[in-house]
Structure 1
């Protein structure tokens, strides 16, 4: 049986810790572990900081029940 619920949607981003202007965006790279580390690159063209984040990719969409 299907159940419908109203939800609120959020976009979750990750601010670059290097320049604090851009956001880290998943770049398709991954270090295998459990959970894996996902590669991200800063969106600020002058920074381009690269970082691996444990267990999550950004930006991502999350929902919350209303």
Structure 2
């Protein structure tokens, strides 16, 4: 059985994806908001699957005319 490799994003990559600053992501982490993250040996990493889940949960349906 072959397992899929987990894709991780650095704060710099996630900031590019969302067009926000790395500082904004740091603020989210300190406030306990934003997607879950890993802290490994002082490095912060976000699992792409967690980011996508967070994005789905943040989706706001537009008003219908």
TM-score range, shorter-chain basis? Answer: under 0.3
Q: TM-score, normalised to structure 2's length?
A: 0.27
The structure with the larger Rg is 1
Q: Which has the higher helix share?
A: 2
